[in-house]
Amino acid sequence: MAKYDPRARDPRSSVSDEDDRAAVSDSGGDRIAKVIARAGVCSRRDAEKMIAEGRVTIDGTKVTQPGTRVATGNVVAVDGKPLSEPERARLWRYHKPSGLVTTHRDPEGRPTVFAKLPMSLPRVVSVGRLDVNSEGLLLLTNDGALARRLELPAAGWIRKYRVRLFGKVTQADLDKLALGVTIDKVKYEPVIADLERVKGMNSWASVSLKEGKNREVKRLMEHLGLKVARLIRVQFGPFHLGQLEPGHVEEIPSKVWRDQLGLGAGKRRKEAGRTSDKSG
């Protein structure tokens, strides 16, 4: 029977790859809906419904409030079945094809990213989103806290796109975006856009930005009088789409993404400190 340990999935801790976890917890314990979601049972929203329906217990006592905190050593069960030990945090590159919605459920019945993923993958969430008609690199993880950490603007990671444009455009037009613009009272930070090639009214450009506001690239190009005919994300921070085929998924080794988040370096410094203490 697995007992809850809030430290077991902390992305800031220095742990071995075998015990790698990526959830952020506090001294008061995590909310029970969050604990259920991290165990891969369902989404946090669905967990809240289960709790309201009286299907969840802590140490055998029924819980009805999704904000209830889970302390170290508590046994959480859903429908009488204790939660399994949470899997170590993992991260994948996915080449999202156009035409898929980046959501677990779509009220319009459109095909979703998650319904098209290989059955071998555990339950995952996306790091940010891509519009239904956008394609390219989408990062997936089995840990919501890791997803939030990766998509925070504070990380300062560049999102890079290749954009097919329709309309008359020059490099001078694109350079206007480098100063930042305000559209319909929404302020967009500086964006670097480089014209790659032009053929008549069609052109390709590379666009690099940090914010990633909803439909940002399309709105910026429409502001310049251009229509986006195709939008492909080729880079998210240090991770690249590369030669990954549409619809394919590839796991990013734990050491790679931990090093990119500064976790690997922290681990090595801590281990070096321990060695130094022993030698002293």
| Residue 261 CB contacts under 8 Å (≥ 6 apart), including other chains | 11, 149, 150
How far apart CA 126 and CA 139 sit, in angstroms, is 6
Closest among 86, 211, 93 to 141, alpha carbons compared: 93
Is the domain spanning 6-82 CATH 3.40.50.620? The answer is: no
144-155 tens-digit pLDDT: 778 888 887 777
**Cα-based distances in Å from 18 to 3, 9, 35, 116:** 18, 12, 20, 29
Q: 91-251, which class in CATH?
A: alpha beta
* C-alpha distance across the termini of the chain, in Å: 42
- CATH 3.30.2350.10 maps onto the chain at 91-251
Cβ atoms within 10 A of the Cβ of 4, count? Answer: 24
Catalytic residue among 131, 143, 175, 259: 131
**In 90-214, which residue ranges form alpha helices assigned H by DSSP?**
144-151, 171-175
- Number of Cα atoms under 13 Å in the Cβ half of residue 85: 10
- CATH 3.10.290.10 maps onto the chain at 6-82
For the chain, how many residues are written? 280
Global confidence as pTM: 0.74
How far apart CA 81 and CA 213 sit, in angstroms, is 41
Dihedral over alpha carbons 163, 210, 124, 55 (to 10 degrees): -130
84-108 tens-digit pLDDT: 777 788 999 999 999 999 988 888 9
126-136 tens-digit pLDDT: 998 899 999 99
How far apart CA 129 and CA 101 sit, in angstroms, is 9
52 contacts 64 by C-beta, under 8 angstroms? yes
Q: State residue 41's pLDDT score.
A: 80
Closest among 178, 116, 155, 133 to 239, alpha carbons compared: 155
Closest among 11, 16, 19, 22 to 268, alpha carbons compared: 16
Catalytic-residue membership of 26 = no
The pLDDT tens digits along the chain (280 residues) read: 555 555 454 433 333 333 333 333 333 578 898 888 777 787 788 889 999 999 999 999 999 888 899 988 889 999 999 987 777 889 999 999 999 999 888 889 999 999 999 988 888 889 988 999 999 999 999 887 788 888 877 777 899 999 999 999 999 999 999 999 999 999 999 999 999 999 999 999 999 998 878 889 999 999 999 999 999 999 999 999 999 999 999 999 999 999 988 876 545 454 445 444 544 4
